[in-house]
Structure 1
Amino acid sequence: MAQSRDGGNPFAEPSELDNPFQDPAVIQHRPSRQYATLDVYNPFETREASAAAATAELLKKQEELNRKAEELDRRERELQHAALGGTATRQNNWPPLPSFCPVQPCFFQDISMEIPQEFQKTVSTMYYLWMCSTLALLLNFLACLASFCVETNNGAGFGLSILWVLLFTPCSFVCWYRPMYKAFRSDSSFNFFVFFFIFFVQDVLFVLQAIGIPGWGFSGWISALVVLKANTAVAVLMLLVALLFTGIAVLGIVMLKRIHSLYRRTGASFQKAQQEFAAGVFSNPAVRTAAANAAAGAAENAFRAP
């Protein structure tokens, strides 16, 4: 029997020389961390990345399709209203008054239906700005009333605060909010120009309201500091109104700049505004009748002349 290398023990562990996997020729061909092998290659990682990119692209396209579907739905509802008789069959819904009220709504307003989707946020913000300005005028009236109770010589300011509530609340809605609404609804250059002119004046008034010149009926910063010497509680109320006026003034300036940038991208121009104004004037039945009567009178006078 052959002798084993470790002294005749057949069950001894094989030495490195007896292990074929320890051969230097085999060791140098073993895979190392420096080389990519099938053990570290994962084909699912590439597929997962591609699937994530495809999913993101599909979600983006789905959002775009949803926006287009909403726009088509809005236009379809407009066409249905037009087919039923246009604005004649539309029932006014603003201001939202109860049915038993003798005064009925004067305007039709539906931002989601009449305003394109990309402008709905802007129009809604302006509507909230108008409501905030109305609320500020009501609080200003209460603050001026409290100031009048503390200082009886503030009667002029209290009287003007009543006038501002009664005057600015309806006029601001009709003179700058409705032109802005109609400008975005029908891409009207004329209404854009009307809005810019009147709302610029409104912004100046917002700033004057925030300043609060004594005797003008505005509970601004100056008026609040003057009343602070007489009554602290009333002064605090006036300071809160002044802070609200300041926020409205800042938001008004920001929205004026934003709407002007949107206006420049719509392709509107002063020439289009002139054309719209001329078309609107000559399409008015009263204007056409007056022009026809004037022309007939001129022709009759020409025939009578010797």
Structure 2
Amino acid sequence: MSEHDSNPFTEPELSNPFQDPSVTHARQMTTTTTATMAEYNPFTDSKPTAMASKPPTQPAIMKPTEEPPVYSQPRVQESTGGAGELLRRQEELERKAAELDRREREMQSLSASGGRRNNWPPLPEKFPVGPCFYHDVTVDIPVEYQKTVKIMYYLWMFHTGTLLANLVGSMAWFCVDPARGVDFGLAILWFLLFTPCSFVCWYRPVYGAFKSDSSFRFFVFFFVYVCQLGVYVMQSVGIPGWGACGWLSALTCLNANVAVGVLTILVAALFTALVVMSLVMFKKVHAMYRTTGASFQKAQQEMAAGVMSNKTVQAAAATAGSKAAQGAFKESI
């Protein structure tokens, strides 16, 4: 009966639901998160403790592995080209201003001295023959052509020195072998003939061509210089009996005398160097000639104008015209 003494309507004591482990853990997490967010201030540099525990990160930086595309470069090139063009024009203007200043000083000096005086060749004042030409590259030649004309002048001097060395070599060969008297005599003739003729026939034309931009003088220079270049080639070959200590003559002389043979070999090397330098300068002058605007038609016009302006030609034409008029008048009578 004791089993029936218990009150069936009384419930056993229930456990506290907030003591459940899962609920307790959830409450702790919520409390921690709330405290962290409460401490975070978005307007300061400080970060929440939960976020501070993470390692700092850096923003991703893309490093270029290729050159910029081609279509992005023309503007830079265009701007660079424009600046270079402006600099080139400025240099050209400065050069022209310097040229005008130089010519003005030249005119002033000429007016003060009463005119130009010939100064080449530089002979002593007491010498019976005076200078024949006026030669001053810095005065007569424009600035952009002065270097080329000076090189041509130095080339003419080298040509004269080579002919003098050829004369010495031929004389030494004649001393060793008396049968080489013809070569020695021709060497003297080439030195006395080619030294002044080369100056007058091809150096003065190129000097005057650059001085006055003359197409006719350019053509005279090209014609004579090609002939001179052919003479240089024959002299460098050195055919015996032609008065040149070229390679063939040097090898022949080397069998007779070693010392004279070495001297003639040096002369042959000078002739060869003269051929090479002459060819290089011929191409350079021709390239500059093409940039000056000269032409064969201008050369013809200059030649016709020069012929008609010649006083001798004018007198001959006037005489022929008067005779023709008198003959026509007599026939009409």
| TM-score, with structure 1 as normaliser | 0.79
1:1-306 matches, cutoff 5 A? 23=49, 25=51, 32=58, 66-80=94-108, 84=111, 89-305=115-331, 306=333
- Shift in alpha-carbon separation, 1:224–1:297, aligned structure 2, 3 A: same
C-alpha displacement at 1:265, in angstroms? Answer: 1.2
| AA in 1 matched with 2:205 | P
2-structure distance, mates of 1:94, 1:138? 20
1:28 and 1:247, CA in 2 relative to 1: closer, same or farther beyond 3 A?
farther
- 1:229 match: secondary structure: helix
Contact 1:180–1:192 under 8 Å retained in 2? yes
1:72 Cα deviation (Å)?
A: 2.2
| 1:36-90 per-position Cα deviation (integer Å, ceiling 9, x unaligned) | 9xxxxxxxxxxxxxxxx9xx979878755653332222332455467x399x810
Shift of 1:197: 0.2
Taking only aligned residues, the RMSD between alpha carbons, in angstroms, comes to 2.8
Code of the aligned partner of 1:284: N
Distance 1:31 1:92 in 2: 87
Deviation beyond 3 Å, 4+ runs, structure 1:
20-36, 56-66, 77-82
Number of corresponding residues: 267
Which consecutive unaligned segments of at least 5 residues does structure 1 have? 1-19, 37-52
Tell me the amino acid that sits aligned with residue 265 of structure 1.
T
Give how far 1:193 is off. Answer: 0.4
Which whole-Å CA distance do the structure 1 matches of 2:137 and 2:57 have between them? 68
| Partner SS state of residue 147, structure 2 | helix
- Letter paired with 2:220: V
**Given the superposition, is the C-alpha separation of residues 272 and 28 from structure 1 closer, same or farther in structure 2, using an over 3 Å criterion?**
farther
TM-score by length of structure 2 reads 0.73
Query: Which has more radius of gyration?
Result: 2
Q: CA deviation at 1:101?
A: 1.3
- Contact kept in structure 2, 1:146 and 1:234, CA below 8 Å: yes
User: Could you report, residue by residue, the CA deviation over 1:125-153 in whole angstroms, capped at 9, with x for unpaired residues?
Assistant: 11011000000001100000000011111
Take 1:273 and 1:85, find their aligned partners in 2: how far apart are those partners?
Answer: 35
Q: In percent, how many aligned pairs have the same letter? A: 56
Paired amino acid for 1:99:
E
Cα distance in 1 for partners of 2:296, 2:280 equals: 23
Which segment drifts farther, 196-205 or 23-32?
Answer: 23-32
**Quick one: structure 1 residues 274 and 80, their matched pair in 2 at CA, closer, same or farther if it must change by over 3 Å?**
farther
Q: Summarize the Cα distance change of 1:32–1:110 in structure 2 as closer, same or farther, 3 Å threshold.
A: farther
